[in-house]
Structure 1
Amino acid sequence: MTLWKLVFSGPMGPLYAASETMMALENGPLSVSLFEREEDETEGWIELLYAAEPDAEAVRETAGLSNDYPAICEPLPEEDWVKLSQSGLPPVIAGRFALHGSHDAAPEGKIAILIEAGPAFGTGHHGTTRGCLIAFDALLDGGFEPDSVLDVGTGTGALAIAARLALPHAEILASDIDPDAVEESARNAEKNGAADIDFFAADGFDHVKLVAKTFDLVFANILARPLIDLAPAIGRALHDGSVAILSGLLESQADEVSAAYLALGLHIERQDPLEGWSTLVVRRI
């Protein structure tokens, strides 16, 4: 199968927003990659892979990019470009955790998590996944030892797997609205010796396993709008002393997302932004 690559280049600000928009599409591109120019980090480009030739101007409109962002659309040789595009990426280090592909040896002295490129989101090379892992690492360093963990919108399962490897005796549940992501995350968990994680498909908290249940730790690495919409449900899933780690929001969206949780009487701690993305640590005190 011949894949098509569509590239838009220009200032990074709108490109961050465009990447979030395109990743949120139910029938969007096969992959979304964002790059900064080494000589000027305020400039960069977004690469979108498609199974058929896309309508560049229709994609531009969907992504919210102006005509100031030139588009280049071209076919690619018949290779697995989703995997190949990540085959040269180095391991991602986030505190005690290291995410790597099979092309790299597991880094020594780290909790190594093997995640290959695939259709689900969360290989660790995105500021949101790394931000969540850094926040989790800091909580563990502070003596936080949760006995129950929920990963909402698990994607590749990276965060749930990290929790299992760091917390061998904890109950770990992980859900995703996409059944394909659930299947992939379960396969990833098995590869990492974490097959006992309970993966299941669910739209937010709409599942019998989550009814009237609270957790010591909740991960939600999704997008800003769902984080706001799910704020009441996430709040109900937290008991006194519980923590939620939220990401998938742009730095510019942090105030709006924070407000939704502050309105519930929760305490917010912000992490340093990574690559234009924010991570929030929410506590019920």
Structure 2
Amino acid sequence: MIKIYSPASIGNVGVGFDVLGAAIAPIDGSFLGDTVTILPSKKFNLINKGTFSNQLPIDVNNNIVWKCWDYFCSFLKKNLPITIILEKNMPIGSGLGSSACSVVASIIAMNMYFNNPIQKTELLLLMGKLEGKISGSIHYDNVAPCFLGGLQLIINNNGIICQRLPIFKNWLWTIAWPGIKVKTADARTALPLQYSKDICIEHSRYLAGFIHSLYTKQPELASKLMNDVIAEPYRIKLLPNFLKTRQEIQKIGAIGCGISGSGPTIFSISDNLQTAKNIKKWLKKNYLKTHQGFVHICKIDTIGTRKIG
């Protein structure tokens, strides 16, 4: 038996549309992600458990974990009879890399169970392809941090898919999922097909400046440069009262705020615990829309996917 945990992630990290992603971990030590367990079997079985297992497709062939197993078998050109237990603890369509959690945990669990026949770079390519089957295009801003941990810059050039960026260890990332769903495909449809030259220049300036400020250890500058001019202006309509929410948590003391991935989860950044607690309290009262919604104070998960059993 082998059990693998994969953490939630913040795609885009506001300023880096499709090229930045950060793995996150609640500071209370709880898990925020999916787990996959592999057991020996004479035939393939998939067992769904967990808080959000009721959101999964009824037809097993439409389940991303089955697709991972099928793709893994095709890649190795073998039929691999196993039982997979998916603990689906991440809500689908939350903007926290839910599909990436399932993909990464499944691929790593199977690879480890069968004595690591696939190397790390090949694994990441495989994960990107499987994630692309859900979102409609290959992108790594969730699977890379989910797999490798940390804050990842997606390069995808010259054989290098991503590289880890420095982080500010005192930053606390408060994430709030309101309990409603936004499909990645719908969030991408909301974006324009073309952008003006001025917007492209502005985006480049913010992203380059943000990365520069990480390497030169300028947290105040980094927080001021976390502006999303590519997706946020067009996705606001998909989120409940985002502009008012941002304004209120900035009053409380947030030094940054943005949409996590495609939304509707939002994240805020603070540099002290009391501010983070005050933001959490406000978000629980004002941003959550259903009883399933949640708020967590997190730090960057520097480990990524790991074996827990």
TM-score by length of 2: 0.27
Specify which structure has the higher proportion of strand. 1
More helix by share: 2
TM-score by length of 1: 0.29
